[in-house]
């Protein structure tokens, strides 16, 4: 039987790398879309030892003709749209760019599928950010959306377009509403990776301290490698449906810092409030964390806490890696850079 053909947009990103590895292990022929003005590095694919197994093709979601050509010529069985301007903090400075990629980029892909490849199954990377500050304690597929950042608004547009193309044109397209997921391959700007890589620099390198923003926001953090499996499972269902993918636990950023600091042998003591709050390492009596205004966002999602009952039941998917294990994996990776 011919190998199934899958296109992953955003192949240079965290999830792109883990999903590519997962699909290769399933026997797929994997194509990866890389934008023309790309960050220029496929270091994540190299780290996983799969860069030579992926067919990398130019794919810029801002370019309609490019999207049309790739979809028309690719004859893909499945397309996973992971490409996005994914950093919430940056979306305030670049709302138009963010919308063009994250919202209209998805319409370009859906239109191309509708016109040129209407049997191709389509996965869209939706996000828990779409819930905003929800009144519902645990957010599920039934919880209503109140996006409060340009990033979240752009993703909700795409989410509803996917629903619309499914209903109006009968395409097999669906969205995974994924809560925060992390890994050693996470981008440096996201808080988990920033905390762990900076703690490693303070312990083994030349950094003396790091600044953070709102350490009281709560996130439901899981492991990217577990979450990409759920993306694939969604496209193997008979009918396209949307699913929440989350760990089902929530912690503050401060709790995350405390857990990660322990892993490096720091003995943290917190003092002060608001912008005067800081963490001292009692081993050295030095301040290693301070709070800086520049890291606060104009609007903040205070708490995210996912309910993945539907995915656990219907996809037989489970979040296998708890936060302590995830932190251990990420800390080991950073420590290995100094050995
Ligand atoms: P990521 O590491 O930031 O990767 C994003 C990818 O999109 C990169 O490969 C990037 O290329 C590419 N890209 C950006 N703009 C593009 C454009 N105009 N055309 C084509 N490609 C473009 O993100 P991730 O953490 O893997 O997340 C994957 C997807 O899931 C994203 O859509 C994100 O919004 C969504 N999501 C993530 C999480 C999470 O916690 N990680 C949770 C929910 C949803 P460059 O390398 O060139 O920048
Ligand atoms: O922030 C707070 C910040 O940037 C987490 C993306 O993958 O997940 C991610 O979005 C929290 C926020 O992720 C710093 O204010 C404090 O409350 O790691 P983050 P995010 O904004 O939750 C969702 C599901 C996505 O879809 C997105 O694509 O941490 N925080 N101090 C900080 N955050 C950062 N980045 N840096 C700080 O210094």
Mind listing the pLDDT tens digit of every residue in the chain (339 residues)? Answer: 899 999 999 999 999 999 999 999 999 999 999 997 666 689 999 999 999 999 999 999 999 999 999 999 999 999 999 999 999 999 999 999 999 999 999 999 999 999 999 999 999 999 999 999 999 999 999 999 999 999 999 999 999 999 999 999 999 999 999 999 999 999 999 999 999 999 999 999 999 999 999 999 999 999 999 999 999 999 999 999 999 999 999 999 999 999 999 999 999 999 999 999 999 999 999 999 999 999 999 999 999 999 999 999 999 999 999 999 999 999 999 999 997
Predicted pLDDT of residue 36: 73
Q: Quote the tokens at residue 86.
A: 């994914």
Owner of token pair 């709302």: 95
CA of 187 to the centre of ligand 2 (A): 11
What pTM value is reported for the model? 0.98
**Integer Cα distance of 68 and 110 in angstroms:** 10
Angle at 222 between CA 60 and CA 148, to 5 degrees: 60
Q: Name the residue at shortest CA distance from atom 31 of ligand 2.
A: 213
Q: Name the residue at shortest CA distance from atom 1 of ligand 1.
A: 13
**Integer Cα distance of 145 and 292 in angstroms:** 30
Fold of 5-183+221-248+303-321: Rossmann fold (3.40.50)
**Integer Cα distance of 53 and 38 in angstroms:** 20
Could you tell me which residues are beta bridge partners of residue 144?
Answer: none
Predicted pLDDT of residue 108: 98
What are the residues whose beta carbons fall under 8 Å from the beta carbon of 101, sequence distance 6 or more?
A: 61, 62, 83, 84, 85, 154
CB 260 within 8 A of CB 195: yes
Predicted pLDDT of residue 37: 67
Q: Name the residue at shortest CA distance from atom 13 of ligand 1.
A: 83
CB 293 within 8 A of CB 275: yes
CA of 249 to the centre of ligand 1 (A): 24
User: Among the atoms of ligand 2, which is closest to the Cα of residue 213?
Assistant: 31
Determine whether the shortest distance from the Cβ of 85 to ligand 1 is under 6 A.
Answer: yes
Model confidence pLDDT, tens digit, residues 149-159: 999 999 999 99
Give domain 191-217+252-301+332-336's CATH architecture.
Alpha-Beta Complex (3.90)
Determine whether the shortest distance from the Cβ of 253 to ligand 2 is under 6 A.
Answer: yes
Predicted pLDDT of residue 41: 81
Query: Which of 153, 213, 292, 305 should be mutated for ligand 2, with most atoms under 8 A from CB?
Result: 213
What residue ranges do the domains of the chain occupy? 5-183+221-248+303-321, 191-217+252-301+332-336
Q: Compute CA distances 231 → 156, 206, 300, whole Å.
A: 18, 40, 27
Helix (H, G, I), strand (E, B) or coil at 51: helix
User: Among the atoms of ligand 1, which is closest to the Cα of residue 12?
Assistant: 9
Model confidence pLDDT, tens digit, residues 190-201: 999 999 999 999
Q: What positions carry a catalytic annotation?
A: 127, 129, 151
Determine whether the shortest distance from the Cβ of 180 to ligand 1 is under 6 A.
Answer: yes
């Amino acid at each position: 039987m011919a190998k199934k053909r899958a296109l992953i947009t955003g192949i240079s990103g965290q999830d792109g790398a883990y999903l590519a590895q997962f699909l290769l292990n399933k026997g797929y022929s994997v194509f990866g879309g890389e934008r023309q003005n790309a960050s220029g590095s496929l270091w994540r694919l190299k780290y996983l030892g799969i860069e030579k197994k992926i067919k990398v093709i130019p794919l810029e979601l801002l370019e309609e003709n490019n999207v049309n050509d790739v979809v028309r010529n690719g004859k893909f069985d499945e397309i996973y749209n992971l490409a996005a301007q994914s950093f919430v903090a940056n979306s305030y400075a670049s709302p138009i760019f963010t919308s063009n990629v994250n919202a209209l980029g998805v319409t370009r892909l859906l239109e191309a599928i509708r016109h040129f490849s209407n049997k191709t199954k389509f996965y869209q990377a939706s996000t828990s950010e779409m819930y905003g500050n929800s009144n519902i304690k645990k957010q599920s597929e039934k919880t209503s959306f109140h996006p409060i950042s340009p990033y979240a608004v752009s993703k909700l547009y795409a989410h509803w377009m996917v629903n619309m193309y499914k209903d109006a044109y009968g395409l097999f397209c669906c969205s995974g509403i994924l809560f925060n997921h992390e890994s050693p391959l996470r981008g440096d700007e996201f808080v988990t990776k920033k905390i762990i890589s900076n703690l490693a620099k303070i312990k083994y390198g030349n950094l003396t301290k790091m600044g953070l923003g709102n350490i009281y926001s709560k996130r439901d953090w899981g492991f990217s490698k577990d979450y990409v499996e759920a993306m694939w499972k969604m496209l193997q269902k008979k009918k396209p449906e949307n699913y929440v993918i989350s760990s089902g636990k929530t912690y503050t950023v401060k709790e995350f810092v405390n857990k990660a600091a322990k892993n490096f042998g720091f003995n943290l003591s917190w003092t002060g409030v608001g912008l005067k709050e800081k963490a001292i390492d009692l081993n050295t009596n030095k301040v290693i964390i301070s709070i800086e205004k520049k890291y606060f966002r104009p609007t903040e999602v205070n708490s995210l806490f996912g309910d993945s009952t539907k995915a656990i039941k219907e996809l037989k998917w489970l979040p296998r890696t708890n936060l302590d294990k995830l932190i251990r994996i990420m800390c080991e990776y950073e420590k290995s850079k100094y050995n």
